[in-house]
Structure formats: structure tokens, C-alpha cells
Amino acid sequence: MAIYALDDREPVLGNDTYVHPDAVVIGAVTLGDGVSVWPGAVLRGDYGTITVGERSNIQDGTVIHCTVFEPTVIGARCVVGHNAHIEGATIGDDCLIASGSVVLNGSTIGNGAIVGAGAVVPFKFDVPPRRMALGVPARLRENYEVPEGHTDLNSEMYFQNAQYYRKSLRRLD
């Protein structure tokens, strides 16, 4: 695992947390119980803090950063899709931040909300709970409420996949 302290800023990993050997975790990053971080993901807590809640998964190629003014907080049971970018934002519990999306500084994503694939959530934008944000720049989808439990299957699947990888992954070169 590529887990680094930066001066006195050291990552804190919960029980059953899995960080793939090709992921990078630096500095003031706290990963809750059962979090998984996949290949090519970078979580860099150098200027501020990053917190990821229990059973969330940070998928391949994702970049998570923070600022001096805004920590990055990701709630429990969140799914952060491939190649997403989150910086200085607050993500509630049970959210989907879909592949290729960007969530920028000072934004908040309410519990159970979805940021659609490729969407760009601009500075200080609020997505209410169980709503969906789509597009560039992101706009709320009208007359649509995200069903409860929409991340349950993915959260459990990635938790189980992390257990499998922990036991079975081996490098061949």
C-alpha cells in the first residue's frame, strides 16, 4: 500500500479498510471501517483533511483533495465512481458520485443524492437530499426523487470485493 505521512499528518485507517497497492493515501486522511480504495485513486490530505465514512468505496482513478478552508467529507456507504474528482466538498451518507464527475469546493451533496456521470458540480452548489444533479454545470433533475437504498448493493459488493482482493491479489512480475 502507498500510504504516506506528511510531516505530522498521518492517515488513519479503520477496521477492514482496504487500500489497493496502486492507490495513494497521503496525510490527514481518515478512512472509516470497511472503506475500500481502488487502483489509481489518490487521496491527498495535505492542506486540510479528508474523511471517508464506513463502507464507502473510492473507485479506480478517483482524485480526492481538500483545501485550507474546506475539508472534504464523504459520508457512509457512498459510491464514488471511476475517475471522479472531489475537492473541498461535503458528501452525505448513501450518495452516488458517478464516474467522471467533479464536485468542487464548498459544495454539499445531501444524503442519498446522486451526481450523474460526467456532471460538474460548481463551487458552493447544494444538491438536496435524494435529488439528482446532472450536466455541465450541474443542474437538479426536475420531478425526480432518488429511491432509498440505491447504494446498498454497490456498497456491499465493493466491501466483499475488498475482502476477496485482500486474500487473493498477488503480483506476478
CATH classification of the domain holding 130: 2.160.10.10
Locus of grid cell 465514512: 53
* 48 close to 68: Cβ distance less than 8 angstroms: yes
pLDDT for the residue 15: 97
Q: Is 23 a member of any domain?
A: yes
Q: Is 173 a member of any domain?
A: no
Buried b (16+ CB within 10 A) or exposed e, 31-52: bbebbbbbebbbbbbbbbbbbb
| Residues spanned by the domain of 157 | 2-168
**Domain count along the chain:** 1
- The mean pLDDT values, 10 residues at a time, for the chain of 173 residues are 93 97 98 98 97 98 96 98 98 98 98 98 98 98 95 96 97 95
Q: Measure the CA–CA gap between 77 and 102, rounded to whole angstroms.
A: 19
Q: Is 121 a member of any domain?
A: yes
pLDDT for the residue 120: 98
Q: Is 137 a member of any domain?
A: yes
The residues, any chain, with a CB within 8 Å of residue 118's CB and separated by 6 or more, are 98, 99, 100, 101, 136
pLDDT for the residue 108: 98
pTM of structure: 0.96
* 62 close to 44: Cβ distance less than 8 angstroms: no
Q: How far is CA 80 from CA 13, 64, 118, 148, 160, in A?
A: 18, 10, 12, 17, 16
pLDDT for the residue 1: 66
